[in-house]
Structure 1
Amino acid sequence: MLFQRIPAHPRRLLAEPVSPTRRGLLAGLCACAAAPLLPAGPALAVTAGAARPIHAAFDAAAAAIEPRLVAWRRDIHQHPELGNQEVRTAGLVAAHLKALGLEVREKVAVTGVVATLRGGAGPGPCIALRADMDALPVAEEVDLPYASRARATWDGVEVPVMHACGHDCHTAILMAVAEVLAAQRQALRGSVRFLFQPAEENQPQGEIGGAKRMLAEGAFADPKPDMVFGLHMVSGLPAGVLGYRSGPMQASADEFRITVHGRQTHGARPWAGVDPIVIGAQIVSALQTIQSRQVDVSDPSVLTVGTFQGGTRNNIIPDRAVMTGTLRTYDEQRRSYIQKRVTEIAESVAKGMDGSAEVTWQPNGYPVTVNDPNLTERMLPSLARVAGEGRLRGMQRSMAGEDFSYFSQAAPGLFFNLGATGPGIDPRTAPTNHSPRFRVDDSGLVQGVRALTHLVVDATGSGAA
């Protein structure tokens, strides 16, 4: 799903290394042999510095909680839930946060959970941390003792359900982060907002959900976070390796629907009707000229028609055909322009062939996910410290979409990747996110806990003399 950037001149970063856990060290040794030429970029050079005691304390706490972290992740993996159906997962999260003494709001954006931890070491910024909880309508094909056999209803159809994108890991990691931070709250400045979000994979029929709805229902209120961090598991990196990119990281994502109206007739008498399938085929071909002939190809965008449905019999020309697809861009002007051109081309092609077309853009599209350059620059030493020597990679822009983009529009954001692929497997050929064979090596999860806790400590200035 994601491919990593290969910079011409790797930069050097100042970092404060902390002794890794034994398991993390073993993962690092194995990952060196498995590190691919592609899609992972080269490791960034790191200059060592001195660590503060608070970092070591949080790393020890992360190592101690690792067995429970893995158990949470496997439990959630075995009981996946689709978007806005995460009742069991949200209940598990809310009970855990309440037991930690946090201020907890439930049922935010249907099943979301928002909690606040107030530090006891004085004033400081409010840091938001986000984890998405929903699974996908995918049938798991990985032979695991905790593999999913769940089924649910999605858009009126019964489907298999699987955590095929690592959201089970994100949820378990943030649960562990909450416990580690809560145990050290007297050493923390400012406050931490935990966002356990439903429906990142979007909702059918254009329903607004996920991050956008959480914001509308006050997830960033009282106080408004000063910055927001999030992570995502990816198969393109070895387990425990961290990846980042400054600026635009993931594309906008929009869904469209084109309904072509013709006139039904017998398949042996096409001249007596108007064939919407032929019109639709011409529309599909014409849409491909937008990217190839109408926009600057040095800036990537993707327009894909993913479904084409029409007709019920081989000898009947139907009265309509329906197509759906997706648009991915990195520029808001490009996004608006292509949306306009899709509508104009579909309508004009259909009209020129004696039919008509209706184009609908769903209102639940995602904007570009942008990592704030200043915040990224500021927090890179934290990621370098956690990653360790040779385990921080630059990332290429991805055409995948993420609704973390809404949070990073509301506050400066940093969204980074955490490797999921275990030793002995080439990340270049490992099954990707959204595959029924997507598999996470649990040895890398503790790196997610370390990364988020170090970001909080450094962003709030906690533990400094």
Structure 2
Amino acid sequence: MKSKGIFALSLLASSSVWANSVDQLADQVQSQVVEWRHHFHQHPELSNREFKTAAYVAKYLKSLGLEVQTGVAKTGVVAVLDSGKPGPVVALRADMDALPVKEVNNLPYRSEVTGEYNGEAVPVMHACGHDTHIAMLMGAAKVLVAMKGELKGKVKFIFQPAEEGAPVGEEGGAKLMVKEGVLKNPDVDVVFGLHINSQTDIGTVKYRAGGVMAAVDPFKIEVHGKQSHGAYPWMSVDPVVTSAQMVMALQTIVSREVKVIDNGAVVSVGMIKGGNRTNIIPAEVDLAGTVRTLNPKARELVYEAMARKVKGIADSMGATATLTMPYGDSYPITYNDPALMAKMLPTLSRTAGEGHVKEAQAVTGAEDFSFYQEKVPGLFLFVGGKSLDVPEDKAPSHHTPDFYVDDAGMKLGVKLLSNLTLDYMQKS
């Protein structure tokens, strides 16, 4: 018991020393982090087109003396910091892509950039905060290089393209990075990621153990019937009425089959297409939508229930139907390993301070960080980017033209990435 107590005191003392050093270094690098953020915000690039962003990041990482690999998953950048001592491999990830959104903010570093999205000319904006993610991870890289003597093991910095989804006909994002071996050579033991949040106060970090962001499973249903004149519906097998029954029945999966007190789930039909005249009952109707789940069992249940209901209703109407799910890109649940969360929660408290660490509600939005967490334990956390004088209900949301986050929120992100790395290495 005595030796364990001495070890605990030693670890606490070491953590305190690191915190002071990290705090000081984060203060020193903050102006540079802000400068980087403004640069990326003013020069955004769409998914799988982050060429200039990647070159900028790679040049800086090389200036730190890191081993840098470019062209991973098309435009991704990966760098390794080797402490020269045995220990775990900790991966830190930031996403780099922007969105086809026109900025309306009157900022000195506002985006005026245009690009091409699925063959169309579009405005481009960092409307989800990925510019801050890049800058925070670059800042953490500088801090950890300066503290190399305190590290045990290796740090892998992952700057990822296409988190928002690759263009039609292309692969991209975390799924492609994993496919190309980003978690190998050296083999990653744990991965940490942050997302800035425009509606959370600066200085605050939010966490959740277990499912924190939903799995995404797009679906398509093709309903085949028999065409007829609209005046003679008895001569048809009506795919419109059949589809209407399917839409209503799909809503009962969440309301009547998913145990909602334990699991969150959403089944939304977002598209119905069929017919071309008012007086013709068509032969076919297509439905498409999205399923969101926060629990693997709920995900399995929804898959089974959708297939059962689609077939049952089609059979009852004399129609046929084909369900395709997933239809297109499908993301797993963003799942924070509970044991890892418990292990690192003291780091969050020490870094953000008393009263600034809050348990988050799960959200039905999605993140492709989940592809890393499928392979290794990982934590995905939310860092506040809302100015303290702005009411939460007045803060612009993500993916909107007036999206805005305060530069001051990035300092906590730099500290968290640095302290999570240092503390995990020590605790391992």
Corresponding residue number in structure 2 for 1:84:
48
Corresponding residue number in structure 1 for 2:298:
334
Contact 1:263 1:319 in 2 (8 A): yes
TM-superposed deviation, 1:161: 2.8
What is the letter of the counterpart of residue 408 of structure 1?
Q
Contact 2:264 2:295 in 1 (8 A): no
| 1:256 equivalenced with 2:219 (yes/no) | yes
Selected match of 1:377 from 342, 350, 359: 342
Percent of matched pairs sharing the same residue: 46
Selected match of 1:433 from 391, 398, 405: 398
What is the letter of the counterpart of residue 322 of structure 1?
D
Change (3 A) 1:322 1:77: farther
Change (3 A) 1:414 1:15: farther
Contact 1:305 1:326 in 2 (8 A): yes
| 1:86-136 CA-partner distances (Å, limit 9, x unpaired) | 22221211121122221111111121111111114x222111001111222
| 1:288 equivalenced with 2:251 (yes/no) | yes
Selected match of 2:117 from 147, 150, 154: 154
Contact 1:276 1:318 in 2 (8 A): yes
Change (3 A) 1:291 1:410: same
Counterpart Cα distance in 2 of 1:15 and 1:371: 28
Contact 2:226 2:236 in 1 (8 A): yes
Corresponding residue number in structure 1 for 2:3:
none
Change (3 A) 1:211 1:263: same
Corresponding residue number in structure 1 for 2:185:
222
Q: Between 215-224 and 366-375, report the one with greater CA deviation.
A: 366-375
Give the match's secondary structure for 1:114: strand
Q: Which runs of 5+ in 1 are unaligned?
A: 1-13, 17-47
TM-superposed deviation, 1:152: 3.1
| 1:190 equivalenced with 2:153 (yes/no) | yes
Contact 2:15 2:423 in 1 (8 A): no
Q: Between 83-92 and 138-147, report the one with greater CA deviation.
A: 138-147
Change (3 A) 1:429 1:259: farther
TM-superposed deviation, 1:319: 4.0
TM-superposed deviation, 1:172: 1.2
| 1:406 equivalenced with 2:352 (yes/no) | no
TM-superposed deviation, 1:237: 1.2
Contact 1:252 1:368 in 2 (8 A): yes
Contact 1:15 1:385 in 2 (8 A): no
Counterpart Cα distance in 2 of 1:204 and 1:282: 33
Change (3 A) 1:130 1:273: same
Selected match of 1:109 from 52, 57, 73: 73
- Counterparts of 1:110-259 in structure 2, within 5 Å, are 110-120=74-84, 122-203=85-166, 208-259=171-222
| 1:400-443 CA-partner distances (Å, limit 9, x unpaired) | 22221221222221211101111221224422222333211111
Give the match's secondary structure for 1:438: coil
Given the two structures, how large is their TM-score scaled by the length of structure 2?
0.89
Counterpart Cα distance in 2 of 1:92 and 1:79: 11
TM-superposed deviation, 1:261: 3.2
Q: Between 100-109 and 339-348, report the one with greater CA deviation.
A: 339-348
Corresponding residue number in structure 1 for 2:289:
325
Contact 1:15 1:381 in 2 (8 A): no
Contact 2:91 2:190 in 1 (8 A): yes
Ranked by relative contact order (alpha carbons within 8 Å, sequence separation 6 or more), the top structure is 1
Give the match's secondary structure for 2:266: strand
Change (3 A) 1:142 1:315: farther
Counterpart Cα distance in 2 of 1:240 and 1:335: 34
Change (3 A) 1:92 1:322: farther
| 1:307 equivalenced with 2:307 (yes/no) | no
Q: Which runs of 5+ in 2 are unaligned?
A: 1-7
Q: What's the C-alpha RMSD, in Å, of the aligned pairs?
A: 2.7
Counterpart Cα distance in 2 of 1:435 and 1:351: 43
Give the match's secondary structure for 1:410: coil
Counterpart Cα distance in 2 of 1:334 and 1:448: 33
Contact 1:151 1:160 in 2 (8 A): yes
| 1:67 equivalenced with 2:46 (yes/no) | no
What is the letter of the counterpart of residue 348 of structure 2?
L
Q: Between 426-435 and 395-404, report the one with greater CA deviation.
A: 426-435
Counterpart Cα distance in 1 of 2:279 and 2:29: 64
What is the letter of the counterpart of residue 309 of structure 1?
K
Counterpart Cα distance in 2 of 1:443 and 1:230: 19
What is the letter of the counterpart of residue 368 of structure 1?
I
| 1:317-362 CA-partner distances (Å, limit 9, x unpaired) | 4443332211111222321221232233223323433433222123
Counterpart Cα distance in 1 of 2:152 and 2:241: 64
Counterpart Cα distance in 2 of 1:60 and 1:338: 50
What is the letter of the counterpart of residue 416 of structure 1?
L
Corresponding residue number in structure 1 for 2:310:
346
Give the match's secondary structure for 1:461: helix
Counterpart Cα distance in 2 of 1:149 and 1:262: 49
Corresponding residue number in structure 2 for 1:21:
none
TM-superposed deviation, 1:269: 5.5
Selected match of 1:395 from 360, 369, 373: 360
Give the match's secondary structure for 2:221: strand
Contact 1:432 1:438 in 2 (8 A): yes
| 1:353-404 CA-partner distances (Å, limit 9, x unpaired) | 3433222123631222221222222222221122123211111122222221
Corresponding residue number in structure 2 for 1:22:
none
Q: Between 355-364 and 294-303, report the one with greater CA deviation.
A: 355-364
| 1:58 equivalenced with 2:31 (yes/no) | no
Change (3 A) 1:384 1:347: same
Give the match's secondary structure for 1:291: helix
TM-superposed deviation, 1:139: 3.0
Counterpart Cα distance in 1 of 2:170 and 2:234: 40
